[in-house]
Amino acid sequence: MILPIKIYSQYSPEIPLEWQPRVCSLSVIKMILDSYSEDKLSFQDIFTEVTAIGGYDEKYGWNHEALVRVLRNHGVNAYRQEFKSRKIDLENKTEQISDYEKELINFGVKKIVKSLEKGFPVLVSVLRHFKEQGTMHSVLVVGFEKADENVSGLYFNDSDIKNEQENRQIFIGLDDFIEAWRQLAIFIEK
C-alpha cells in the first residue's frame, strides 16, 4: 500500500542554494500541505513561517514542535511523538537505553502503519541515506509492505533528490528502517 503523495525536492530552484542541504523537513511539510491543506503555500512561505516562530536551530536543525505548529496553522491536525526510553543512573548522572525502548520502537512502527492505513503519511527523522554516519534527515513515510501478515518494510518520499521528475517512492526493509530511525515522528490526522 502506497499513498500517492508527490515528492518535493529540497533542491528546487525556488529554494535558496545556501539552504538546500538543510531543508528536508520543510520539503516534507510542503508535501503534506500540498496533499492535505486547502492552503497552497510556496516553499518560501513555509520557510518564512517556520523561521519566524523560531523553528530552526543551527545545532539541532528543525524543531518538530514548530513544524507541527505550521501544519496546524494551515488546517492539518498534527502532533509529534517520540519513541525513546532511557534508564537514568541518578548517582552517576548518566543514561543508557532502557529495557523498554525496543517495545516502544515496535509500538511506533505499528502506529506508523495504522496511520498509513487511515490514509495519512508520517514524517520521520532518520539518518541521511539510512547510514550510521548519516546526518539528521527527515523523510515522509507513504506506504508499507507486508509478508505473512507482518510488516516487511516501508516506502518513503525523500526530498534529497535532484530531479523531482524521479517522483518515486523508496523502499527500505523494516530492520534497516529501525536501525536508522531516530525514533521521532510527526503524525497527521483529520
- pLDDT at position 29 is 97
In-domain check, residue 6: no
Domain that holds residue 91: 17-189
- In a domain? residue 8: no
Residue partners of 147: CB distance under 8 A and separation at least 6: none
Decide if 111 is inside a domain.
yes
Structural domain total, the chain:
1
Establish if 147 belongs to a structural domain.
Answer: yes
Higher pLDDT, 25 or 14: 25
Is 7 inside a domain boundary?
A: no
Q: Which long-range contacts (CB under 8 A, 24 or more apart) does 41-44 make?
A: 41/74, 42/14, 43/8, 43/12, 43/14, 43/15, 44/14
CATH number, residue 61: 3.90.70.10
> For residue 86, what pLDDT is reported?
77
pLDDT tens per residue, range 140-164? 999 999 988 899 999 999 988 876 6
Domain annotation covers residue 36:
yes
Q: Provide, rounded to the nearest whole percent, the portion of the chain with pLDDT above 90.
A: 59
Distance of CA 36 to the CA centre of its chain: 16
Residue 11 is assigned to a structural domain of this protein:
no
User: Which amino acid is it at 114?
Assistant: K
Residue 96 CA neighbour count, 13 Å, CB half: 3
Does residue 182 belong to any structural domain of this protein?
A: yes
What is the C-alpha end-to-end distance of the chain, expressed in Å? 20
pTM over 0.85: yes
| Distance between CA atoms of residues 78 and 157, nearest Å | 19
Query: For residue 136, what is the enclosing H or E element?
Result: strand 136-147
